Structure 1
Amino acid sequence: MSSLRSLGPAYRALVIGSSGALGQAFCAALRADEQCVLLRELSRHSDPPLDLQDAPGIAEAARRLAEEAPYQLILVASGVLHDATIRPEKSLAALDAEALQTVFQINALGPALLLKHFLPLLDPQGAMALLSARVGSIADNRLGGWYAYRASKVALNMLVKTAAIELARRKPRARLLSLHPGTVQSKLSQPFSGSAAARPAAQAAAQLLALIDRSEPADSGGFFAYDGQRIPW
């Protein structure tokens, strides 16, 4: 991967969700970029720890990192589609209140608090990007199903769009983006039929970083696929 030119000659990066497949790939790419002079990786097992289901912990992590801010790049690579007890719903009959709450907490409510506490740590000309998903596009929904995941990503997109409007008033040169990484080889995609065409995480991370690097302040609040195409809401 070539250096990220839009972030300056000595940029600081923060990756939230660094233990997942894409989070690890982002970190590896940033370590390889000689322009990146500091890389902070946050996960449930980092120091400080960050758990999207722990609201006070999110605020505390931001407080502890404030003294090394600003960051020129902040990436949020966390999210959940399924786990040992949660499965994407194929019908309304499969909806479960506890699963809905968990998926929304990790995919929307936790990221909302990340925006609250970490967006102030962004450099005035920096970029913050959160991983969304194409299935979070209402206009693009033709197959149905996956109620919790779809709806939580729609909520995430609205949070990013709204926060970007506020950000533009305070830091008009900054960028805040929702990004669709495509199907990536990971635990998230492995159980599903599309996993056969999944791309390596390193390839997806490189594409997303290049997309961020090409973005302009006018793109802030936008929803983009890894190939640069704008996704309809």
Structure 2
Amino acid sequence: MPPWSLISPASRGIGFALARRVLQTTNAPVVVTGRKDLANMKHEILEGLDIDEKRLTVMEVDVLDETTIADAASACKDKFPSGSHQLQLAFIVPGLLFPEKSPAQINAEDALLTFRTNTIGPMLMLKHFSPFLPKKNAGQGEIGEDRDFKGLPSISTTAIMSARVGSITDNRLGGWYSYRASKAAVNQVVKTFDNHLRTTSGENAMAVTLHPGTVKTGLSKEFWGSVKKEKLFDRDWVAERLFDVVKNVGIDGRGKCWDWDGKEVPP
């Protein structure tokens, strides 16, 4: 079945770079999402790329508003009818950080917004977009031979952004209470979702979480000065590495968290 890809959101940061990377290195249609100024967003994503602009569709999604997620999924259902297309690659990458250094800095509203953005938003994306994933009895195209599958992972893969600080095993410094907890929760959501896919999709679809490292985006700007130069990554470089990880991790890597270097991050 002809494949398509989803990157949400793709208005800035890693999502923006991933959208450009997927457009550059694959042939399939790509759907990206943003909250506002969609026409300008489309122009910026396409700028300098030698591709067919019809491959890119921009839709409005705010992960804090389930109605927008449902509406986008409905529009995708019209664009990619079930049974004749499949979602081969999805990057779900919303992120919000309030860096509480001590318990005294915890703010209930900020913590709730962190969970709504980092955890519940992706969970709702899974709710509405999982019907586009191939079922267990669905035929898979031969990736190497089918032009439409060029550059895409051989297994339909849903990748959600996590972080190394979401690892309980790796937590040696403390701090960042709501962000750490929201990312640990993301890892649990994805593991649970991947177990669901084992039943519904078999080895035709899987889910993973990703750790991008410290990337020069608005999310981490406050901390650039405290990061070694060689550990502060450009978003385009990280997008290339994460895309390669998703394509190469294979079925044995399902349900786990992988960093930009293809190494597993412990739970």
Whether the TM-score (by the shorter chain) exceeds 0.5 is yes
Is the Cα–Cα contact under 8 Å of residues 249 and 262 in structure 2 kept in the other structure? Answer: no
Greater Rg, structure 1 or structure 2?
2
For 1:180 and 1:230, locate their aligned partners in 2 and report how far apart those are by CA, in whole Å.
Answer: 9
Aligned match for 1:212, one of 235, 246, 252: 246
Could you list the structure 1 runs, at least 4 aligned residues long, displaced by more than 6 angstroms after superposition.
none
Residue 194 of structure 1: aligned partner: 227
Aligned residues, how many?
219
Q: In the alignment, does 2:101 pair up with 1:70?
A: no
* CA deviations over 1:12-61 (Å, ceiling 9, x no partner): 2111110121111111111211x322111111124531101102221221
Note the aligned Cα RMSD (angstroms).
Answer: 1.6
Aligned match for 1:120, one of 117, 131, 137: 131
Aligned to 2:7, the other structure's residue is in SS state strand
Is the Cα–Cα contact under 8 Å of residues 189 and 195 in structure 1 kept in the other structure? Answer: no
Is the Cα–Cα contact under 8 Å of residues 211 and 257 in structure 2 kept in the other structure? Answer: yes
Aligned to 2:94, the other structure's residue is in SS state coil
Once the two structures are TM-superposed, the CA of residue 230 in structure 1 deviates from its matched residue by: 0.9
Is the Cα–Cα contact under 8 Å of residues 20 and 78 in structure 1 kept in the other structure? Answer: no
Aligned match for 2:216, one of 173, 182, 185: 185
For 2:105 and 2:170, locate their aligned partners in 1 and report how far apart those are by CA, in whole Å.
Answer: 22
Structure 1: runs of 5 or more not aligned: 1-7, 82-86
Aligned to 1:168, the other structure's residue is in SS state helix
Residue 130 of structure 1 aligns to which amino acid in structure 2? I
Residue 39 of structure 1: aligned partner: 30
Q: In the alignment, does 2:54 pair up with 1:59?
A: no
Residue 49 of structure 1: aligned partner: 60
Aligned to 1:41, the other structure's residue is in SS state strand
Q: In the alignment, does 2:113 pair up with 1:80?
A: no
Q: In the alignment, does 2:158 pair up with 1:142?
A: no
Residue 99 of structure 1 aligns to which amino acid in structure 2? D
* CA deviations over 1:43-89 (Å, ceiling 9, x no partner): 112453110110222122112212315221111121111xxxxx310
Residue 162 of structure 1: aligned partner: 192
Once the two structures are TM-superposed, the CA of residue 122 in structure 1 deviates from its matched residue by: 2.3
Once the two structures are TM-superposed, the CA of residue 204 in structure 1 deviates from its matched residue by: 0.4
Residue 13 of structure 2: aligned partner: 21
Is the Cα–Cα contact under 8 Å of residues 32 and 59 in structure 2 kept in the other structure? Answer: no
For 1:217 and 1:119, locate their aligned partners in 2 and report how far apart those are by CA, in whole Å.
Answer: 18
Instruction: Please identify, of 103-112 and 188-197, the stretch whose mean Cα deviation from structure 2 is larger.
Output: 188-197
For 1:217 and 1:12, locate their aligned partners in 2 and report how far apart those are by CA, in whole Å.
Answer: 20
Residue 240 of structure 2 aligns to which amino acid in structure 1? A
Residue 102 of structure 1: aligned partner: 113
For 2:222 and 2:9, locate their aligned partners in 1 and report how far apart those are by CA, in whole Å.
Answer: 21
Residue 216 of structure 2 aligns to which amino acid in structure 1? Q
TM-score scaled to structure 1, two decimals?
A: 0.89
Structure 2: runs of 5 or more not aligned: 39-57, 136-154
Is the Cα–Cα contact under 8 Å of residues 127 and 175 in structure 1 kept in the other structure? Answer: yes
Aligned to 1:37, the other structure's residue is in SS state coil
Residue 52 of structure 2: aligned partner: none
Residue 30 of structure 1: aligned partner: 22
Residue 222 of structure 1: aligned partner: 256
Aligned to 2:60, the other structure's residue is in SS state coil
For 2:134 and 2:89, locate their aligned partners in 1 and report how far apart those are by CA, in whole Å.
Answer: 8
* CA deviations over 1:174-198 (Å, ceiling 9, x no partner): 1200000111111111111227431
Taking every aligned residue pair, what percent have the same amino acid on both sides?
A: 35
TM-score scaled to structure 2, two decimals?
A: 0.78
